[in-house]
Structure 1
């Protein structure tokens, strides 16, 4: 009898909490919708389907705690966004660096779409403050977790592609990602010739040419001497066991000189 009485009291207590919980959740969701509205204004893009935008920022921990509501997490959008990001960045690099080898293009793209880079892009747009998280994830610092932020950035790209198409994605990356490539943020992964080319293109200084000035030594131990010029003005000399190595060394010397002048 006593246990039934206590169970009844507990039921009444929980029933009394329901309106409060609903009010609190509604207030929470209203706050996020307002935040997403401001976010869209800041990036100059308005989603036709706002549910896609919200899904991009919805972590699986939030979905697990709100099973009665039709929430979807961002994992599928992350999968799509990863592919869209690789495609658009690949196209940009292919067009920007017509003389860069496949290996160098791959290395540069990997540096641009790696986790630390995506986290940097996400932080610049304050993505962490928009993520819908479960309480446990929130308490363990999920908003600042690098892997989570990188995933959200990819999911956002996926959502943007579905809602607006590739052209809008390209325009967004042109504002957020491509300028960093042009500023030399990823030059450290390029070889010397590519770094020199990137530096000259950034400054709009002119055309680079490489010349083999000398070949010496026997066939089995050949040595090449190369010179790199900019608008017919010598920038650097280099030597090596192959033409490519000699050109790389010439580019390295040219880079050193140019950086000393900056």
Structure 2
């Protein structure tokens, strides 16, 4: 039996001691392959009483109180009793590892694998699965460390103050909770440009800073294109979903969809400002900062479309429509109670020399949504009145305001309107009565003329009937058959011959 000194375990053939131990937990054969020595390998596990080999400088406590120990009685005897030696075994038995040891070793090997494979050309799928396997293994509750941690929490609970999530982080998480998934930009250079401000590549305050010829390195050109796409998407959403709303109202709603306040909320919710590369200093409460934050959304839309020319626009349109859905549902068109109010009022009061005039009662104003408002009044001239006010209305244009003013006049039904309607009704009744009398008089004269014409036409009709009869008889005679005419002619001839014969006989006698 040969006595050898155990070699240090700091580094063996380029492998760290931790990696060697990890491999040892997995397989005894792997541990044996570490030692290239032809001599038999030492036993895997030394006796529990074995003293740790001396490694100079390895432990800070080594050598502490050594002088005192030399003078302590019985110290050398106790040290000699604890000395143990490695015993070589030519046929070592494979170590039987428990499930816990196998899990611990596998986690260590996964850590080593991830550290070695994390390079520029690493296999991302392999690294992902390695991370996922390690997470699942560490999530088990049957490990020694988990049990120890639970025991520690029971015996020595942590009494430190729980850290509260900052308000701004909580707001961002809450805002992004109900947002639709962010469509990806498949082209890396476009994705890089979307989140690059011009100040990151060009700063006039830095000497030698040059903008360069390539203007596509930041988001400004993408923002120009994305702004046009955004206007088109908003217009299509409103045009297709609100067919009965007037154009001024649709323009007002579109401005609310694409304004910087709306887009900046989306940008903040998705964390776009945190991803923006820049060297500028902004006041986060200023309009300039909110414009920059909103411009990132427009640039992102352009990036989606350009990275996928075939389906990019449809993807961006679906994404923005889903973001705008709460606003689109909140839009309510302004209902006009009586769109034919102007025509109805004209029918009630207009007549010869009577006019309904509209005029602005005060200059145009803007409402809370920065939409123009016209203020129109309607006035009556006629029926004994001159520029008499009937009602007032407001609208986004003069036509709408005029209709609203007429509806207001009908709703008020003031004394002026009632008097005008009464006068028109009386005049109408007189006109109807006169027309009836005139029609009656004209009807009697027409009846006399009609009777005379009837008598004349009757006599002329009788005379004409006789002439027609004669003409008919003549026509019928001419239309007789040729045989009848021949017989008549033969009879007349015979009669003439008889008369001649009789006259001849008389002469002879």
**What range is the shorter-chain TM-score in?**
0.5 to 0.7
- Determine which of 41, 45, 54 is the counterpart of 2:192: 54
Counterpart of 1:148? 292
- Determine which of 233, 239, 244 is the counterpart of 1:94: 239
Higher helix share: 1
Matches within 5 A, 1:1-262: 43-64=181-202, 72-134=217-279, 137=280, 139-141=281-283, 145-164=289-308, 165-182=312-329, 184=330, 187=331, 192-193=334-335, 215-216=344-345, 218-219=349-350, 220=356, 221=379, 242=403, 246=407
CA distance change for structure 1 residues 245 and 77 in 2, over 3 Å: closer, same or farther? farther
Structure number with higher relative contact order (C-alpha < 8 Å, ≥ 6 residues apart): 1
Contact 2:202 2:210 in 1 (8 A): yes
Shifted more, 81-90 versus 152-161: the winner is 152-161
Deviation at 1:127, TM superposition (A): 1.4
Counterpart of 2:126? none
TM score, norm. by length of structure 1:
0.54
Deviation at 1:218, TM superposition (A): 2.4
CA distance change for structure 1 residues 244 and 85 in 2, over 3 Å: closer, same or farther? farther
CA distance change for structure 1 residues 211 and 108 in 2, over 3 Å: closer, same or farther? closer
For structure 2, the 5+ residue unaligned runs are: 1-175, 204-208, 351-355, 357-378, 381-389, 392-400, 412-509
Deviations 1:101-155 (A, max 9, x none): 2222112111211221221221222211111112xx1x44469810110111111
- In structure 2, how many angstroms separate the alpha carbons of the residues matched to 1:62 and 1:241? 55
CA RMSD of aligned residues (A): 3.8
CA distance change for structure 1 residues 168 and 89 in 2, over 3 Å: closer, same or farther? same
Pick the structure with greater CA Rg.
2
Deviations 1:17-38 (A, max 9, x none): xxxxxxxxxxxxxxxxxxxxxx
TM score, norm. by length of structure 2:
0.29
1:193 counterpart SS class: coil
CA distance change for structure 1 residues 60 and 241 in 2, over 3 Å: closer, same or farther? closer
Deviation at 1:193, TM superposition (A): 2.2
- In structure 1, how many angstroms separate the alpha carbons of the residues matched to 2:202 and 2:258? 29
- In structure 2, how many angstroms separate the alpha carbons of the residues matched to 1:87 and 1:244? 35
- In structure 2, how many angstroms separate the alpha carbons of the residues matched to 1:57 and 1:245? 55
Deviation at 1:180, TM superposition (A): 2.4
- In structure 1, how many angstroms separate the alpha carbons of the residues matched to 2:313 and 2:227? 13
CA distance change for structure 1 residues 242 and 174 in 2, over 3 Å: closer, same or farther? closer
Contact 1:129 1:143 in 2 (8 A): no
Shifted more, 58-67 versus 149-158: the winner is 58-67
- In structure 1, how many angstroms separate the alpha carbons of the residues matched to 2:317 and 2:406? 36
